Each structure stands twice: as C-alpha cells, then as structure tokens.
Amino acid sequence: MSAAWRTEFGHIAIALVPAWLAGLWLGWTGWLLAAALAGLLIWHLLRLYRLEQWLAEGGARALPNIGVSGDLANDITRLRRGDRKRKQKLTALLGRFRESAAAMPDAVVIIGAYGEIEWFNDAATRLLGLRSRQDIGRRLTYLVRHPAFTGYLAAGEYNEPVEFPSPVSEQLFLSVRAVPYGKNQRLVAIRDVTRMHRLEVIRRDFVANVSHELRTPLTVITGYLETFSDDEQVRASARTARTVQQMEEQADRMRRLVEELLMLSRLETTPATVDDTRAVAVASLVNDIEAEARVLGRAQGHIIQSQSDASVWLKGNAKELYSAFLNLVSNAIRYSPAGGDIILRWHADSEGAYFVVVDHGIGIEPQHVPRITERFYRVDKDRSRTSGGTGLGLAIVKHVLQRHGARLRVESQPGKGSVFTCVFPPTRIEQRPATSRAVGV
C-alpha cells in the first residue's frame, strides 16, 4: 500500500474514531458519525475541486497536496506526457515518410476503402496530373480512367503490375502496382516505364520485320531442297541424301520458328483482350488436337487420351486457343518417354473452366517453373533442340491466356511428369447443349 493511501486511511480514522467515542459517551453515536462522514465528504469534494481547477489550468503550476487524488493526477500526467512524446515521435516519423515519398521519382498514392484519394506525392502530380487541394477525397478512378487501370483496381488481384498510357501525356507510359494495407487502404505505386516501353516496341518491330524478311529466302531454300531431294543422283548417294534430309529438317525448324515469332509479334501488338462475343466449342478443339497429337506421337508410341465436357463452351478466339492448347500437347509429347501416356481434359466448375494436359515425362525442376514461359527459355537445351522445339511455345501460351483473362498453372515433379492447367474465368464460360454447332478454327 502506498504512503498516500495510508495517510488517507489515517485521516478517516482521525475523523471517525473520536466521533464514535464521543457518541458512546453522549449517547449520540449515529448523529456524530454522520456528521464526521459529512465532513469527510465535504473535505474530499474540496480536494476534487482543487484537482479540477489544476487540470483546467493544464497542469502549469505545481500540483496541490490533495492526497490520493493527487497521486492519481500524477499518474495521469505521466501517461499524458508519455502519449505526447509518442505522438511527437509518430508525427516526426510520418513527416520523414512523407518527405521521403515526396522525393521519390515514382508516384505514390494512398487510397481508402472506396478508392478515394487520401494522400499523394509530388510525382503523382507529374505522372497522373493530380492536384493537391482539389483531388484529395475524390476517387482515383474518376481522375485516371484508362480501362486497364480501372479494371486492375476493381479486380483486387495485385500480383502483377499493369501498364497504361499516362492521362497527362500519351507519350508517357506508366506501370502501376497496388498493395493493400491497414484498414481497407491501398498504396498505389506508379512508375514511368516510357523508355522500357519504347525499347519493347522497337524489339517487337525488329522481330516482326526480320521474321517477315526471312520468309522469302526460306521459301527459296526449301524449294531448292525439295528439288535436290527428288533428284535421282542425290538419292543414289546415301550420304548426300542424308545431308539434304538434315538440311530440310533444319529449314522446316527455321520455318516454324519464323511462324511462331510472327504469331507472338501479332499477339503482342493486337489489343490486350480478345473479342468475347463468340463462343468456341472447346470440346471440338480438343478432339482435333487429340487427332493431331496421335500423328505427332505415333513414332514414339505415345498413348493420347482425352476427356471433354461438350456442354462447356468458351468465349474467345478459336485459332488462338487451338494454337495454345496444341503447344501444350506438343510439349508433353516432346518431353515424354516412348510409350508414355498423355491425357487431355476439358471441364468446368463454379470457379472457372480448365484445359488440362497431364504427362508422365521427365518433369521440371522447381527453380525452372517460374521461367518456362519466357521466350527461348529451355529447361533441357540439348533435348529441346534435338526434338525440334523453338523455345517459343509456352511464351505463345502465356500471351494467348492473358488475352483471354486466363492463367497457366504448372505442377511438376522431376522424373514423374507434369500437369499444365489453363484456368479460364467463369465470365468466359457459356453452357450449351452438346449438339450445338462449333466455331471452327
């Protein structure tokens, strides 16, 4: 027990004990005790009044001697001082954060639960055209209305950044990424990627132009090789015939490489999403792909099977989907041992539609999985080149899926095989009777 409380109990005893003794002597015990208690109450009220006056003055002068109430006031004062110091530290820290954010070359915007702007730095004015006084409290999507940006914020999936032209100038190209934090708040970071975008455009144009230019000489070379292969003198020499055959194989590989480069260039330069008004009978595509896969895998004795739900249709581009699915199946054939099973599945549920390719091939090491959709990235370079792969198949798959709002999911175990799944959003699914007419490729 503190000294203040002992003193307080002493005061009570000094007031009540004499009153009780006097009451016993005079016979007025109740009256005298009541009078003593009333005096104690008035005394405490006066001390509380002095404490209230001291608090009203802000604690500027010394605290009067008011017993336990004074100790409580001292404790409150210490807490207030501690809170004041913590508040000052937080204010200083917030000030340093804002100074650092203001000095950043990248734009930073903090938005609330409804997308309203709470704060932004100077770079946001330069890149997005935001104005400090007028735009605080307004929704960011009212001021930056590009569909790619508004769709990105509305989707709520911020794993990958999205790019779009700046509302200030179409010459500026921006990359945005949002990070949720706090209570329904989001930090939106915007970076100027104009230089990278220009370099990417130059690269795409270069690849497209070179690919177009290669088609003519390749056609000429292929024509000469066909002439040589039909020549009787060439056929008479096994060595020469083998040489011409190898040249034809490499010319064919070059032709496929050029075709895939041109297709990849077209996918990259056309609008980011495909027209989703036409429904594709994916089950019919799977049947065609299965037939082609049987031809591709005949030499190695691969067993191709398919399971498709004919009632599940998909809104999209039939030719692009066919190309993406065939690339996945071709990879499964290329990396499966002779006689291996390859299973194709097409089905849907409440969360989306799925095209699945299952193989029992060599599998993929975990460190390679994140990079397999990069252009010319090869897990096994020697095997890929020997089997005739171009290194562009999965890059094409990735772009086709992105254009359909889909994603590629890869599960693989080295030595056991892989499962490639194309996951399409439920908004692209259309249920039709199995006898409906399909959109052809």
Query: What would the pLDDT profile of 174-210 be if each residue is shown by its tens digit?
Result: 999 999 988 889 999 999 998 887 877 777 777 777 7
pLDDT band at 343 (very low <50, low <70, confident <90, very high): very high
Per-residue pLDDT at 11 = 67
CA count, 13 A, side-chain hemisphere, 170: 1
Query: What would the pLDDT profile of 251-264 be if each residue is shown by its tens digit?
Result: 887 887 777 777 77
Query: What would the pLDDT profile of 218-228 be if each residue is shown by its tens digit?
Result: 888 888 788 87
At residue 388, does pLDDT exceed 60?
Answer: no
Q: Average pLDDT for residues 120-137, to the nearest whole number? A: 88
Check residue 274 and report its DSSP letter. -
Q: What tokens does 55 get?
A: 């608090």
> Residue 108's beta-bridge partner residues?
189
The answer to whether 300 touches 339, Cβ cutoff 8 Å, is yes
Q: Supply the mean pLDDT for the chain.
A: 81
Per-residue pLDDT at 54 = 67
- Kindly report the number of other CB atoms within 10 A of residue 363's CB atom: 18
- Percent of the chain residues topping a pLDDT of 90: 20
3-state class (DSSP) for residue 173: strand
User: Which range in 11-15, 67-71, 107-111 is most confidently predicted, on average pLDDT?
Assistant: 107-111
Q: Residue length, the chain?
A: 441
Per-residue pLDDT at 184 = 85
Per-residue pLDDT at 345 = 94
Query: What would the pLDDT profile of 32-57 be if each residue is shown by its tens digit?
Result: 778 877 877 777 777 777 777 766 76
Buried b (16+ CB within 10 A) or exposed e, 373-409: beeeeebbeeebeeeebbbbbbbbbbbbbebbbbbbe
Per-residue pLDDT at 441 = 43
Q: How many Å apart are CA 25 and CA 64, to the nearest integer?
A: 38
Per-residue pLDDT at 329 = 92
For the whole model, what pTM was predicted? Answer: 0.56
At residue 100, does pLDDT exceed 80?
Answer: no
The DSSP H or E segment spanning 350 is: none
Q: Average pLDDT for residues 255-281, to the nearest whole number? A: 73
Q: How many Å apart are CA 146 and CA 175, to the nearest integer?
A: 12
Cα distances (Å, whole numbers) of residue 122 to 185, 207, 246:
20, 38, 62
Q: How many Å apart are CA 435 and CA 207, to the nearest integer?
A: 43
Q: How many Å apart are CA 300 and CA 336, to the nearest integer?
A: 9
Radius of gyration of the chain (CA): 39
Query: What would the pLDDT profile of 317-335 be if each residue is shown by its tens digit?
Result: 898 899 999 999 988 888 8
Query: By mean pLDDT, which of 98-102, 120-124, 178-182, 309-313 is the weakest?
Result: 98-102
Of 103 and 167, the one with more pLDDT:
167
